[in-house]
């Protein structure tokens, strides 16, 4: 198991470096320049070339691309993610304040999606062909097809017109004002969770139906084991690997949903910060945020591999 973990951890390093290099190059070829925005010139106004050159030199973006990239990359192990080109403040500080907000919403969404989706898939598989199964599949397909931004706007409109209520403006951390915090995050988390719930429900139903047809399940029942023991110890555990796989692959959509919901509900997390940084062509901030998202993604995949090894010890031997 130890060698298995070492191989997986070493594989993360080139993945993260590749992600940083890719976003670094993409941001440099995207049309637009932050110096034009910082100069204060309006649309159609001519910008003094000397002023632009001075701003580029001041921001350090006049240097060769490889120098900019290597300089930024060297600072990462030291905890230095660079300074924002837009407000000249350390990016690390802004991420430090916003990160707990996004993580709380993502954890709430993942927890709700799994808690609702897994029982729905299990009941659907055990009641195959009944109205419960048909209703479960209908709900799953509906939430898979509905875009999260549309659901967000629909929920806001419904709350406003029906109850004359909208989530509180501004933001309070959980340990500062739990009531306002949950009122602000519960609906975005539920909307993000709806998509994950549908994926978990459909995958758990399919895998459980496959396992229920296996010979060892019929043998366990023939030996007189209680049905609850058969389902929990044999069916559920052996059907979890595909479910965990699809959940880990859904981390990207979970993060994308967090970005969209933060924009719709005006939540000051790192998703909203990413959108603002892209709009402002704040290269340093975008690079740091993409690195954070990539790190979250690869860590989730590492935890998935560890879970594989626990569920099926044969996997850790390869």
Note the pLDDT of residue 309.
63
Is the pLDDT score of 234 beyond 80?
no
Beta-bridge mates of residue 83: 90
What's the mean pLDDT in 10-17? 79
Whether the CB-CB separation of 140 and 198 falls below 8 Å is answered with yes
Token readout for 186 is: 């519960």
Note the pLDDT of residue 159.
82
What's the mean pLDDT in 134-163? 85
Is residue 204 included in any domain, yes or no? yes
What's the mean pLDDT in 46-52? 71
Q: What is the CATH number of the domain that holds 127?
A: 1.10.3720.10
Note the pLDDT of residue 4.
63
Residue 315's pLDDT band (boundaries 50, 70, 90)? Answer: low
Whether the CB-CB separation of 84 and 91 falls below 8 Å is answered with yes
Note the pLDDT of residue 43.
56
C-alpha separations of 315 from 6, 66, 79, 234, 247 in Å: 14, 40, 35, 18, 18
Name the nearest CA neighbour of 292 among 110, 91, 59, 29: 91
C-alpha separations of 65 from 38, 133, 284 in Å: 21, 56, 13
Is residue 249 included in any domain, yes or no? yes
Which is higher by pLDDT, 82 or 227? 82
Is residue 9 included in any domain, yes or no? no
Note the pLDDT of residue 47.
67
Residue 311's pLDDT band (boundaries 50, 70, 90)? Answer: low
Is residue 59 included in any domain, yes or no? no
Is the pLDDT score of 316 beyond 60?
no
- C-alpha–C-alpha distance, residues 266 and 269, integer Å: 9
Is the pLDDT score of 32 beyond 60?
yes
Is residue 115 included in any domain, yes or no? yes
Q: CA 33, 39, 45, 47 torsion: positive or negative?
A: negative
Residue 300's pLDDT band (boundaries 50, 70, 90)? Answer: confident
DSSP letter for each residue of 27-39: HHHSS--HHHHHT
Is the pLDDT score of 304 beyond 60?
yes
Is residue 175 included in any domain, yes or no? yes
Beta-bridge mates of residue 90: 83
What's the mean pLDDT in 98-124? 86
Is residue 73 included in any domain, yes or no? no
- C-alpha–C-alpha distance, residues 267 and 249, integer Å: 25
Residue 308's pLDDT band (boundaries 50, 70, 90)? Answer: low
Is the pLDDT score of 101 beyond 70?
yes
Q: What tens digit of pLDDT does each residue of 243-299 get?
A: 777 777 676 667 777 888 888 888 888 888 888 888 888 888 888 888 888 888 888
What is the domain range of residue 180?
Answer: 97-281
Whether the CB-CB separation of 94 and 285 falls below 8 Å is answered with yes
Note the pLDDT of residue 5.
67
- C-alpha–C-alpha distance, residues 82 and 97, integer Å: 16
The proportion of the chain whose per-residue pLDDT surpasses 90, expressed as a percent, equals 0
Token readout for 43 is: 């649309």
* CA 1 from centroid of its chain's CA atoms: 28
Helix (H), strand (E) at residue 262 = helix 251-264
When divided into structural domains, the chain yields a total of 1
Is the pLDDT score of 112 beyond 80?
yes
Is the pLDDT score of 313 beyond 70?
no
The per-residue pLDDT of the chain, averaged, comes to 79
Is residue 162 included in any domain, yes or no? yes
Note the pLDDT of residue 44.
57
Note the pLDDT of residue 106.
85
Note the pLDDT of residue 290.
86
Which is higher by pLDDT, 75 or 4? 75
What's the mean pLDDT in 141-166? 83
What's the mean pLDDT in 118-130? 85
* CA 138 from centroid of its chain's CA atoms: 25
Which is higher by pLDDT, 310 or 218? 218
């Amino acid at each position: 198991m130890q060698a298995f973990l070492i191989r997986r951890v070493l594989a993360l390093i080139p993945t993260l470096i590749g992600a940083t290099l890719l976003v670094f190059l993409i941001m440099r070829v995207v049309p637009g320049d932050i110096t034009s925005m910082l100069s204060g010139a309006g649309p159609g106004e001519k910008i003094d070339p000397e002023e632009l050159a001075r701003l580029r030199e001041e921001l350090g973006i006049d240097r060769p691309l490889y120098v900019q990239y290597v300089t930024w990359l060297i600072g990462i192990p030291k905890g230095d993610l660079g300074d924002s080109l837009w407000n000249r403040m350390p990016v690390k500080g802004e991420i430090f304040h916003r990160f707990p907000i996004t993580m709380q919403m993502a954890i709430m969404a993942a927890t709700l999606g799994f808690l609702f989706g897994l029982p729905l898939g299990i009941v659907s598989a055990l009641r195959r062909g009944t109205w419960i199964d048909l209703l479960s599949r209908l709900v799953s397909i509906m939430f898979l097809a509905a875009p999260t931004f549309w659901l967000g706007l629909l929920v806001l409109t419904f709350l406003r017109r029906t109850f004359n209520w909208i989530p509180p403006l501004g933001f309070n951390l959980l340990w500062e004002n739990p009531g306002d915090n949950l009122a602000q995050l519960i609906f975005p988390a539920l909307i993000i969770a709806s998509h994950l719930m549908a994926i978990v429900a459909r995958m758990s139903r399919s895998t459980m139906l496959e396992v229920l047809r296996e010979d060892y399940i019929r043998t366990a029942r023939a030996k007189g084991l209680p049905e609850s023991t058969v389902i929990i110890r044999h069916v559920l555990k052996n059907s979890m690997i595909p479910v965990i796989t699809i959940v880990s692959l859904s981390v990207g959509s979970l993060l994308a949903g967090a970005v969209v919901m933060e924009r719709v509900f005006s939540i000051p997390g790192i998703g909203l910060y990413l959108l603002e940084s892209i709009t402002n062509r704040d290269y340093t901030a975008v690079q740091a945020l993409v690195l954070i998202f990539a790190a979250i993604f690869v860590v989730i995949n590492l935890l998935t591999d560890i879970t594989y090894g626990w569920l099926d010890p044969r996997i850790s031997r390869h």
